[in-house]
């Protein structure tokens, strides 16, 4: 290839060898090189199309926008050589270049690859020189220094002409735009080209030429086609409001809302101007019945407060949640911007026992990359760009709105959204100034993280709370202390049942070293070891507990389970002796727990694991015949208590499923199917 870069045969051989070796990235790069370098006299257009299409698809999948643009541009160049139409691909190239703010490259592409556009100087000569070389081109000088006039033919699509105007404006050469705009206005306007006409006004605004943008919109609205376009009236009102022509802006916004009542940005900006002009009630009425999330601007904070209170009183909770979320987002944006500074900030001495750095880190991790964080970023940037006056909301008001939003989201079962709001509220500096408001959201972190299944945050909270309680336990009564630690250990076990991490086990071991003989910690340590397969360590922990409480059915079952697991290992010598010990402890568990679904199922599962299938079938069948566990509930209407069957604790479906597996293994598909249809089908 280095010796003869235009020979297609060498590229094909190299691509084949790279793909066989699994080097797809190099194979795609070689395809791209071939499409750029091979002489068109050697191959037909389909060869180029195949090479470029495969490479472009690969770069798009890899999210490599720069190389995808280069591949598409190569396709447009090669299509031009073969007189093939590639207008749609060229539109995509120019759009992607402009989205990447590569306005000079986009304008060069229009000049080089579009027919019907030429720039001439005062002498009638070409103002730019274009040279082509296989799959490349050069356009010099660019932007053209002196252009007397542009020659624009009918063959140039309107979208390219409009985008060329935008590129010149964004490049700081708005002196080149008026001639092209005049050419644009000479053309008939079609609905599919509306947006590119409006994008020219947005380009003027992007380079702070608001007067030019307003003048352009006035010319545009003089065209009958745009009189019924709500976005055009909105932009006109927007530019008028920037220039502080509020009365004219109100008329433009009103016209936009008459054409499209759901236009959120026009409604928000209209209400903001009404608020500034002292028309408070009218501003509130403008926003009252509308969802404002989709807008690209932010209403006045006072209007959002009024709307939130109005929606809460009317019990319109979906709209209330959206409104309060928008109200809180600018306050949460401070956390998004300064997260590292907040983490490194040294806490006051009064807060060091209350605030845990580990919880703060996990709270940041819980919201990172979430949809709510992206929403806070978007709305916060809008608020920052508008340079608003400082907020008048106090820390107590922030606390109340966050709490109401949390309640609403939890009632709607949106637990993950509730957790994200709780994390931001916990980290908000204004809320953190008051220990009581801070503790509200710190305690809610545990509840929300458990409901949202964000186990690292739940564990971090429990670790902090356990350490705090252990250090302060002499201050409480023995009965209260025992109840508190029972609740903490139950919560820890709940987390460990759903999530396993080596850091959890290490913490339990450290806590056990500080409090030797603690039965709950020994049980948790044994459970962690049992799950990870360290059966000997688990057995040691369980036996320590069993010595203290020999009549506890749970510890007897766990010891029996550990012995059974050990007897099933391959590297064991006294297999039968260990299995007998497991059976003995399981028998003791049955005596203590009684005959019920739970004991029948667990013993059946033990025999199933040991491959004693007749015994497993016997106990599974006894489980199917046993009564469903019952619980006591209180009837809200009468206050009476009554006993009902608790389907959530019913083990018949699990026993039937395991029993069907035994029948399937023996080839009795009919009985297995009947069991599943009877016990495991949802009606």
The reply to whether 435 and 462 lie within a common domain is no
Closest to 534 measured CA to CA, from 522, 545, 525, 544: 525
More confident residue, 563 or 173: 563
Q: What is the pLDDT of residue 2?
A: 62
* Structure tokens that stand for 367 in this block: 């919201």
CA dist 562 and 551 (Å) reads 18
pLDDT at 349: 47
Domain presence at residue 326: yes
Whether 502 shows a pLDDT value over 80: the answer reads yes
Bridge partner list, 519: none
First to last CA, the chain: 68
Say whether both 388 and 510 belong to one domain. no
Residue 316 lies inside a defined structural domain of this protein? yes
* pLDDT above 70 coverage of the chain, percent: 92
Q: Is residue 383, in this structure, part of any structural domain at all? A: yes
Q: In whole angstroms, give the CA distance from residue 595 to residue 420.
A: 46
Q: Do 72 and 51 belong together in one domain?
A: yes
Dump pLDDT digits (tens) for 425-444: 998 888 877 777 788 888 89
Stated pTM of the model: 0.63
pLDDT exceeds cutoff 70 at 49: yes
As given in the structure block, the two tokens for residue 32 are: 């791209």
Helices (DSSP H) in 314-454: which residue ranges?
317-337, 339-344, 357-367, 371-385, 395-411, 415-427, 429-432, 435-452
Domain that holds residue 513: 453-547
Tens digits of residue pLDDT in 348-405? 545 544 567 788 888 888 988 888 898 888 888 888 877 766 677 888 888 899 999 9
Q: Report the domain count for the chain.
A: 3
Question: How far, CA to CA in Å, does 395 sit from each of 327, 342, 379, 442, 558?
Answer: 14, 17, 20, 15, 50
| 388 and 523 together in one domain | no
pLDDT (0 to 100) of residue 575: 86
352 with 444, same domain: the answer is yes
Confidence of residue 108 (pLDDT cuts 50, 70, 90): confident
Average pLDDT over the chain, rounded to an integer: 85
Greater pLDDT, 564 or 335: 564
Tell me, yes or no, whether 307 and 428 share the same domain: yes
Same domain? 433 vs 312:
yes
> If you average pLDDT over each of 119-133, 494-508, 539-553, which comes out highest?
539-553
Judgement on whether residues 442 and 459 belong to the same structural domain of the protein: no
Specify the pLDDT at position 18: 83
> 448 with 463, same domain?
no
pLDDT at 345: 57
491, pLDDT greater than 60: yes
Q: Which DSSP letter does residue 116 get? A: T
> Which one-letter DSSP state was computed for residue 477?
-
- pLDDT band per the 50, 70, 90 thresholds, residue 32: confident
Top pLDDT among 145 and 240 is at 240
In a domain? residue 552: no
Verify that 321 and 415 share a domain, yes or no.
yes
> What pLDDT shows up at residue 552?
93
Crossing angle of helices 478-498 and 519-532, rounded to 10°: 10
Average pLDDT over residues 206-215: 91
Residue 521 has pLDDT above 80, yes or no: yes
In this structure, the answer to whether residues 405 and 327 fall within a common structural domain is: yes
Is the domain of 28 the same as that of 63?
A: yes
């Amino acid at each position: 290839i280095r010796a003869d870069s235009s020979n297609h045969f060498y590229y094909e051989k190299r691509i084949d060898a790279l793909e066989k070796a699994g080097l797809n990235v190099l194979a795609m790069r070689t395809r791209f090189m071939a499409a750029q370098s091979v002489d068109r006299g050697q191959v037909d257009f389909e060869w180029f199309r195949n090479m470029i299409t495969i490479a472009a698809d690969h770069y798009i999948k890899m999210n490599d926008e720069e190389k995808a643009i280069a591949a598409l541009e190569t396709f447009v160049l090669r299509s031009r050589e073969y007189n093939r139409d590639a207008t749609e691909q060229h539109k995509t190239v120019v759009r992607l270049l402009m989205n990447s703010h590569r306005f000079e490259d986009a304008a060069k592409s229009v000049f080089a690859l579009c027919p019907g556009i030429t720039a001439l100087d005062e002498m009638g000569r070409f103002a730019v020189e274009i040279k082509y070389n296989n799959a490349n081109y050069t356009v010099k000088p660019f932007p053209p220094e002196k252009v007397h006039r542009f020659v624009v033919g009918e063959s140039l699509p309107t979208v390219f002409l409009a985008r060329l105007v935008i590129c010149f404006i964004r490049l700081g050469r708005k002196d080149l735009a008026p001639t092209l705009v005049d050419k644009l206005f000479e053309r008939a306007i079609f609905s599919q080209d509306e947006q590119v006409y409006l994008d020219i006004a947005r380009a003027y605004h992007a380079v702070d030429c608001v007067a030019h943008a307003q003048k352009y919109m006035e010319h545009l609205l003089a065209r009958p086609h745009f009189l019924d376009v709500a976005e055009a009236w909105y932009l006109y009102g927007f530019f008028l409001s920037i220039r502080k022509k509020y009365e004219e802006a109100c008329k433009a916004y009103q016209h936009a809302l008459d054409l499209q009542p759901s236009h959120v940005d026009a409604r928000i900006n209209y209400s903001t101007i009404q608020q500034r002009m002292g028309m408070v009630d009218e501003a509130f009425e403008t926003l009252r019945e509308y969802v404002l999330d989709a807008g690209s601007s932010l209403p006045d904070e006072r209007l959002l407060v009024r709307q939130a209170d109005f929606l809460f009183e009317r019990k319109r909770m979906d709209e209330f949640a959206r409104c309060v979320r928008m109200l809180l987002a600018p306050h949460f944006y401070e956390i998004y911007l300064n997260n590292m500074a907040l983490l490194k900030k040294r806490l006051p001495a009064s807060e060091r026992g209350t605030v845990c750095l580990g919880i703060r880190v996990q709270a940041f991790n819980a919201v990172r990359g979430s949809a709510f964080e992206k929403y806070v970023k978007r709305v916060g940037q809008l608020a920052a760009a508008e340079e608003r006056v400082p907020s008048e909301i106090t820390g107590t008001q922030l606390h109340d709105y966050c709490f109401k939003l949390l309640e609403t989201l939890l009632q709607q079962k949106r637990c993950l959204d509730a957790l994200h709001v709780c994390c931001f509220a916990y980290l908000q500096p204004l809320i953190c100034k008051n220990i009581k408001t801070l503790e509200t959201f710190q305690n809610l972190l545990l509840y929300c993280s458990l409901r949202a299944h964000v186990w690292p945050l739940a564990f971090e909270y429990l670790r902090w709370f356990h350490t705090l309680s252990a250090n302060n336990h002499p201050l409480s009564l023995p009965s209260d202390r025992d109840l508190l630690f029972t609740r903490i250990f139950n919560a820890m076990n709940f987390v460990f049942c759903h999530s396993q991490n080596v850091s959890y086990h290490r913490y339990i071991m450290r806590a056990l070293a500080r409090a030797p003989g603690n039965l709950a910690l020994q049980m948790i340590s044994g459970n962690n070891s049992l799950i990870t397969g360290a059966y000997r360590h688990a057995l040691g922990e369980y036996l320590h507990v069993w010595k203290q409480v020999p009549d506890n059915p749970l510890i007897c079952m766990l010891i029996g389970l550990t012995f059974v697991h050990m007897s099933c290992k391959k590297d064991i010598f006294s297999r039968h002796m260990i299995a007998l010990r497991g059976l003995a402890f399981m028998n003791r568990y049955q005596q203590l727990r009684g005959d019920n679904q739970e004991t029948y199922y667990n013993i059946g599962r033990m025999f199933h694991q040991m491959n004693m299938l007749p015994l497993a079938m016997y106990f599974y069948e006894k489980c199917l015949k046993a009564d469903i566990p019952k619980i006591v509930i209180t009837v809200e209407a009468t206050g009476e208590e009554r006993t009902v069957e608790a389907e959530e604790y019913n083990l018949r479906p699990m026993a039937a499923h395991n029993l069907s597996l035994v029948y399937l293994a023996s080839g009795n598909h009919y009985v297995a199917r009947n069991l599943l249809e009877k016990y495991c089908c949802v009606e």
